[in-house]
Amino acid sequence: MSELEQVSKLIGDIYDAALDPALWPEVLHATCDFVEGCAATLVSEHSALKSACFFSQWGADPYYTKLYQEKYVKLNPALVQLVMAATPGQITSLLDFVSKDEYLSTKFYKEWARPQGYLDAFNIIIEKSAFAYAAMAVARNEQQGFVDDGDRRRMRLLAPHFRRAVAIGKVIDLHKVEAAALADTLDGIAAALFLVSADRRVVQANVSGQQLLREGRILRTVSGALKACDEKSDQILQDVLAAAVVEDQPQASRVAVSLNVTNEAPYVAHLLPLTTGARRKASVTYSAVAALFVRKAELDLPHPFEALASHYQLTPTELKVLMGVAQIGGVPEMADAFGVSQATIKTHLSRLFGKTGTSRQADLVKVVAGFVSPLMTSQSK
């Protein structure tokens, strides 16, 4: 079969799969035959949550798929750069974002890709948002080699048809993916979240909030009303909640209340009134006058990638090292995780110190923390 015949048949199969999702594995198989790959998948990934969702696959080992979702998505050396730089319809490969030598030295390659025989991978970017992307990805083994111009040309022939077919079949709705991811995150964050009515009743609480109430050490409910276990803290909490009931009052602004706990690190309650403007309209249905976020007084580290990179003019590698300081630790640990020498990490740290006006790794952590709102989510426990 000529290339033209192959492309014509494959395009027809792609649109058939848009109408019958059960056909996607067969289409992914045929795509691998055409562009030379050993496995293919329809996938979405979220850089801030470091999560991956697989919609359809061919040739992939379920064990390694699960392993990727649980661990190695966090070590994917191209993930952050891909989300920041890629555009819908673009054909990308791993080596567009990381050098060959650096990639082959990473834990991601040594512990996840190489055991499966994977050498490289390339994608059709189907959809993109600020923190996530959806793609049709094809993995290549060592015999097939790294992606070259011929491979990209063949993939480009298919790109517009994959994008249209996925949209037609609604196989991946990135807005729904992100909404589901956000819902999961709200129930998994360390911060306890309470929506509170004018009479201090808990209208809604996330999983962490429900757990905090069950423990009864920091907060509890009395006849349905939310109360702090410490009397002094409870009086302050009562006062700020009462102020939140009154629309457009100066007191009804975001405030923080310390919740004292005997023999424990203090907890902090951040109160966001819902009594003005659009927030008031949004809360009418639920009779909530305030949102209360309660967490232990410790550092939260979501991933303000783009704001950090833009503000300090960081390169993708410098951004990766900066986040590594906050999430991984010292130079030896980062060198091991990124598959580079300690001298390389130190060089990047030196540049980070210069760009951020700091001189210690502890100060770099504070730089990251400075871009995090107290009301932002966290996945730490």
Q: Which residue, among 134, 138, 154, has the nearest Cα to 88 in the 3D structure? A: 134
Return d(Cα 189, Cα 209) in angstroms, integer: 10
pLDDT of amino acid 21: 87
Which of 12-16, 37-41, 127-131, 193-197 shows the lowest per-residue confidence on average (mean pLDDT)?
A: 127-131
Q: What is the pLDDT of residues 247-298, one digit of tens each?
A: 544 444 557 777 876 666 678 888 877 765 544 444 344 567 788 888 776 5
Structure tokens at 287: 């009779």
For the chain, count helices (H), then strands (E): 16, 12
The interaxial angle of helices 3-19 and 149-169, nearest 10 deg, is 20
Range 3-182: architecture per CATH: 2-Layer Sandwich (3.30)
Convert the pLDDT of each residue in 328-353 to its tens digit: 778 888 888 788 899 999 999 999 99
Superfamily the domain 191-296 falls into: PAS domain (3.30.450.20)
Domain 305-370 CATH (choose: 3.40.50.720, 3.40.50.1000, 3.40.50.280, 1.10.10.10): 1.10.10.10
Query: Per-residue pLDDT tens for 68-125?
Result: 998 999 899 888 888 788 889 999 999 998 999 999 999 999 999 999 999 999 999 9
381 — pLDDT class (breaks 50, 70, 90): very low
Query: Cα 159 vs. chain centroid, distance in angstroms?
Result: 25
Strand partners, 205: 194
Residue of higher predicted confidence among 321 and 257: 321
pLDDT attached to residue 62: 94
Task: Give residue limits of the domains in the chain.
Answer: 3-182, 191-296, 305-370
Least reliable range by pLDDT among 11-25, 60-74, 75-89, 153-167: 75-89
Q: What is the pLDDT of residue 372?
A: 55
**Is it the case that residue 216 has pLDDT exceeding 50?**
yes
Record the pTM: 0.53
- 3-182 and 191-296 in the same fold: yes
Q: Are 64 and 121 in contact (CB under 8 A)?
A: no
Please give the full DSSP string across 158-177, using - where no structure is assigned.
HHHHHHHHHHHHTS--HHHH
Residue type, 298: E
